Every structure is written in C-alpha cells, then in structure tokens.
Amino acid sequence: MSRHSSASESRRSVASRASDLSLLNDDECKRILTVLERDFNLRQQEHKRLEELKKTIRQETDRVEYLAGSKEFNLERCIRCFKPFRFLLNPRKTCSECKLFVCPECSTYTSETKTWACKACSQLKELRVLTSDWFYNQTSCKHKRCGSSRVVRELHKREKELGEFN
C-alpha cells in the first residue's frame, strides 16, 4: 500500500511542477497569454461555425419532419430537393439514417457499407465528429480545471500578486 501511495504522490508532484508558472519571467508569461488568446479566438470562431451548421441542420430537420408526414409526397419526390423521381433519370434511394427517399444528387453512396445517406444526415454525422461533445462531456466531468484554463488562472493569479507588490 505504501508503494502505491508514493507513486501517486510522485505523479502529483510532477503535475504540480509542470503547472508551476512562477519559474517563468514576465516576457514568457506574456507570450503564453498571447498564444492562449489566439487559441481562445480560434475556438470562438469554430464555435460560431458549428452553431451555424447546427442551425442549418435544425431547419432542414424541421422542414423534413413536416413533409415526411405525407408518405405520398416522399414516394413521388425527393424529401430534400423536391424533384420528382424517374425510373432511370432520377431513381429513388433510401437514406440509411433517416429512412426517407432521396435522389442521387441529395445523397452520397458509401461503398464500405453499401448504403446511401442523404446530405443532411451526412452533415449531422460530420457535426458529431467535429464537436466531439461525447469526449468533452466526459473529460469535463473528470477534470474541473485543465489545460489552458488552468494556465490562464495561474498567470492571472501571478499578475495579481505582482500588482500588489508594485
């Protein structure tokens, strides 16, 4: 048991030394804050882009839900672009995700699974991958403060202490 506790103590001391920012001079602190500001701005831009994508997907989903209520409409026309289905010119494909009928222009074929997916379902999949919500939700529960937020907090604390001395 003592071997286990000494290993965890050494890990803790390594982690505390890695986040000890008192060893940095003022110029290094300013550089780190500049990098963190750029990171923050890029994250905000990406967040805005993803929110716009979410809004587009929500609008498309609402429109499709309304139209999908009429089964006859989807049997005759593409649920995404409303073009009528033609036997050879515009054949009907079934989306593997939403199970609605779409035309080849509004869908993509995946050769590995041999399935068709409408572009809206493909965008939704892409959004899930881009946001990585499943990952961030799990890590935020485990680690309250980590990464750049911890560094910013330490730098601001140091800045405040320096301000009190000056």
* Structure confidence at residue 19 (pLDDT): 59
CATH of the domain at 86: 3.30.40.10
3-state SS track over 60-123: HHHHHHHHHCCHHHHHHECCCCCCECECCCECCEEECCCCCEECHHHEEEECCCCEEEEHHHHH
Counting Cβ atoms within 10 Å, is residue 83 exposed (0-12), middle (13-18) or buried (19+)? Answer: middle
Whether 106 is covered by a domain: the verdict is yes
Whether 107 is covered by a domain: the verdict is yes
Is the predicted pLDDT of residue 4 greater than 60, yes or no? Answer: no
86-143 tens-digit pLDDT: 888 889 899 998 888 899 998 999 899 899 998 888 888 888 877 776 676 666 666 5
Helix (H, G, I), strand (E, B) or coil at 132: coil
Range(s) of the domain holding residue 69: 27-131
Whether 122 is covered by a domain: the verdict is yes
* Structure confidence at residue 30 (pLDDT): 85
Whether 22 is covered by a domain: the verdict is no
Whether 138 is covered by a domain: the verdict is no
Name every residue whose Cβ is closer than 8 Å to that of residue 108 and which is 6 or more positions away in sequence.
116, 117, 119, 122
* Structure confidence at residue 1 (pLDDT): 47
Whether 67 is covered by a domain: the verdict is yes
**Separation of alpha carbons 104 and 117, rounded Å:** 10
CB neighbours of residue 60 within 10 Å = 18
Number of domains in the chain: 1
26-74 tens-digit pLDDT: 888 888 888 888 988 998 998 888 888 888 888 888 887 777 777 777 7
Whether 142 is covered by a domain: the verdict is no
Whether 137 is covered by a domain: the verdict is no
In Å, what is the CA distance from 155 to each residue of 24, 25, 28, 30, 75? 10, 11, 11, 9, 62
Question: Smallest Cα–Cα separation from 95: which of 123, 132, 70, 53?
Answer: 123
pTM to 2 decimals? 0.51
Joined tokens for residue 37: 């500001």
Is the predicted pLDDT of residue 153 greater than 50, yes or no? Answer: yes
> Which sign, positive or negative, has the C-alpha torsion 120, 126, 128, 131?
negative
**Strand duo 107-110 + 93-94: pairing:** unpaired
